[in-house]
Structure 1
Amino acid sequence: MEGNASAGGMEDQHRSSHWKAENKHEEKVQDPDRGEDETKAEMGSKTWADLAGEMKMFLWNPEERTCLGRTAKSWGLIFLFYFIFYTCLAGMFAFCLYVMLLTLSPYTPTYRDRVSPPGVMIRPYLNGFTIAFNVSQPSTWQPYVDSMHHFLAAYDDKVQEEKNIECISGQYFIQGGNESEEKKACQFKRSLLQNCSGIEDPTFGYSKGQPCILLKMNRIIGYRPGAGVPVSVDCKVQKGNESNLGAVDFYPGNGTFDLMYYPYYGKHTHVNYTSPLVAMHFTEVKKNYVVPIQCSLNGKGIINNVNSDRFLGRIIFTLNIGK
């Protein structure tokens, strides 16, 4: 009996020790959670005043004399580093830009192999390429007349005689010397436009329903149009009956761009250069009818049949003249 009692006691002791060990293990496992809860409780117990104080201390700590966690020396070293870094970066960029500019001429484009033949433009040009007016209503055509006079002011005979020289017709005006030297320009007097000069008829034919329109080629440095043969101009009805357009008079001469006005040397050296013009006098346009007109350049090297570019070697505009 005593043996059984002692055996039972030993089993109870063993169970008790095992239970205590399990409890200790559970307490150890639960300790981290308790620590987190306690930390959360401590954080939750902070007031807004405490948070504001900590932020203030972060912005400026008088004890450690730090701003945003850094001392004045640390901030100074950071600013010094970035100042030197960006200064060197800007210097490298400026040097590369300077070297690149040394390879470019301000007077002549370096690469001109992809420059297309010249485009053309007309005057007057007011809000579009439709010229519409009524002969009996001067207010409808006067803006066109004013635009023509303003454009031709630089072509006045006196202005051209003062600024430019007389040149030999029918040949290119080649000027050598240093590319930075100022080039001479040939005279183009508005009197060459005859009936479209605005001298004899200040209304350029608009008061009679016979409007004048000026055509000019865009400037291209070094370009020699026509390969030694003057470029001519012709006009036709784009869509419709040719009788709607009738006869067209061209000035000067037979409507050509004289070779003596080429090549053009650029705005830096060809200061007084005035682009040559061809005037088109539409004397028989059908009245009270919309007439679409295409005027084209013709000559060697001229391209005027590119549908995607309506200004390359040609221009399309509309005349709508009322009585």
Structure 2
Amino acid sequence: MGSKTWADLAREMKMFLWNPEERTCLGRTAKSWGLIFLFYFIFYTCLAGMFAFCLYVMLLTLSPYTPRYRDRVSPPGVMIRPYLNGFTIAFNVSQPGTWQPYVDSMHHFLAAYDDKVQEEKNIECISGRYFIQGGNESEEKKACQFKRSLLQNCSGIEDPTFGYSKGQPCILLKMNRIIGYRPGAGVPVSVDCKVQKGNESNLRSVDFYPGNGTFDLMYYPYYGKLTHVNYTSPLVAMHFTDVKKNYMVPIQCSLNGKGIINNVNSDRFLGRIIFTLSIGK
């Protein structure tokens, strides 16, 4: 038997693709192909149904209001405002264009803290103790008032420039929200700031608001955005009234309280935050 030519191979391939005598395609009749497609359709439909059922049963065990497992939740991280271009706040007092964006950012952020807004949406609470709210977890929770006037010199009310026009900038610090978290174990968490690296005399004076720079217990615990609709995170304002001018000053502001961790070198936001102030004349 001689070897097959390319023409023979092409003819066999054509016959395999479609055999007009046996009316088969790729060696199978239309009925055979139909049964195969039907089998796989039913098979994958059953798999999809089983997956959907398992997912549905799993979701039934979860609450949309409270995380089921919270044993691995770390102490809160912190963040500052204004936050525009990273963690360096640099401006020249004599050039309003360099500090006006920070001022605008502060006003925008504090709009939700306006006294009238807080009086309309939230209630007055008893200071110095946690605001525990019972009832069904799906019930809407009340939120305590945090008025921007509590920030005093850093409220933007008396000084709309938040001290930036005088080279004495205000920076706001807030803790990240954690559902059910009660910071300080009954004692308010406080804030302090220091020079992170370098000469400590580069930062000579910082004023804290409200009070002595603490997070009042009445703003905790937080119940989640679905039920704690009008909740506004409490703030601590840091008024840097005497910082060395024309110099990059790295500053570390830390939370202090029972259960607070602020010395993990691998996480600069856990219980502390590091930023740089550069104030030109």
1:175-224 C-alpha deviation (Å, 9 max, x unpaired): 00000111111111111111111111111111111000000000010000
Residue equivalent to 1:280? 238
Residue 150 of structure 1: how far off its partner (Å): 1.3
Structure 2 counterpart of 1:24: none
Q: Secondary structure at the match of 2:204?
A: coil
How far apart are residue 242 of structure 1 and its match? 2.1
Displacement of 1:283 after TM fit?
0.6
Q: Which residue of 1 aligns with 2:70?
A: 112
Q: Max radius of gyration: which structure?
A: 1
With CA pairs under 8 Å and 6+ residues apart, which has the higher RCO, 1 or 2?
A: 2
C-alpha displacement of 1:128 = 1.0
Displacement of 1:233 in angstroms is 0.6
SS at match of 1:278: strand
Q: 1:162 offset after TM fit, Å?
A: 1.6
Deviation at 1:56, TM superposition (A): 2.6
Structure 1 residue 154 displacement after superposition? 1.1
Worse overlay, 268-277 or 139-148: 139-148
Q: Structure 1 CA distance, aligned partners of 2:243 and 2:35?
A: 81
* Distance across 2 between alignment mates of 1:165 and 1:132: 38
CA–CA distance in 2 between the matches of 1:311 and 1:46?
Answer: 75
Does residue 146 of structure 2 align to residue 188 of structure 1?
yes
CA separation in 2, counterparts of 1:286 and 1:204?
18
CA RMSD after TM alignment: 1.4
Give deviations 1:281-321, integer Å, cap 9, x for gaps. 00111101111111111111111111111111111111110
Alpha-carbon distance, 1:54 to partner:
2.9
Q: Kindly state the Cα deviation for residue 96 of structure 1 after the two structures are TM-superposed.
A: 1.4
Contiguous gaps of at least 5 residues in structure 1: 1-42
- Equivalent residue for 2:271? 313
| Displacement over 2 Å in runs of 4+ | 43-57
Q: Which stretch of the first structure deviates more once superposed, 303-312 or 254-263?
A: 303-312
Among 224, 238, 243, the residue aligned to 2:201: 243
- Kindly indicate which of the two structures has a greater share of residues assigned to helix: 1
- Measured in 2, the distance between the counterparts of 1:290 and 1:303 equals 27
1:108-136 Cα distance to aligned partner (Å, 9 max, x none): 11111121111111011112111111111
Aligned to 2:85, the other structure's residue is in SS state coil
Q: Secondary structure of 1:284's partner?
A: strand
1:237 is displaced (CA, Å) by 0.9
CA drift at 1:239: 1.6
Distance 1:49 1:179, change over 3 A: same
Q: How big is each residue's C-alpha offset from its partner over 1:239-279, in whole Å with a ceiling of 9 and x where there is no partner?
A: 22222111111111111101110000011111111000000
The match for 2:133 is 175
Residue 49 of structure 1 and its aligned partner are, at CA, apart by 4.9
Secondary structure of 1:292's partner? strand
Q: Which moved more, 1:58-67 or 1:267-276?
A: 58-67
In the TM superposition, what whole-angstrom CA distance separates every residue of 1:135-176 from its partner, at most 9, and x where no partner exists? 111111111111111111111112111211111111111000
SS where residue 242 of structure 2 aligns?
A: coil
Shift of 1:51: 3.9
1:74-129: CA deviation from partner (whole Å, max 9, x where unpaired): 00111111111111111111111112112211111111112111111101111211
Structural mapping, 1:200-279, within 5 Å: 200-279=158-237
CA drift of 1:48 comes to 4.9
Q: TM-score, normalised by structure 1?
A: 0.84
Distance (whole Å) between structure 1 residues aligned to residue 223 and residue 243 of structure 2:
39
User: 1:42-87 deviations in whole A, cap 9, x for unaligned?
Assistant: x977665544433332222121111111001100111111111111
- 1:249 aligns to what SS in structure 2? strand
Distance 2:272 2:2 in 1: 81
Task: Normalising by structure 2, report the TM-score.
Answer: 0.96
Sequence identity of aligned pairs in percent? 96
Provide the C-alpha distance between the structure 1 equivalents of 2:20 and 2:113, rounded to a whole number of angstroms: 79
Name the CA shift for 1:215/1:44 in 2 (closer, same or farther; >3 Å): farther
Equivalent position SS for 1:144: helix
Which runs of no fewer than 5 residues in structure 2 stay unpaired? none
- The offset of 1:234, in angstroms, is 0.7
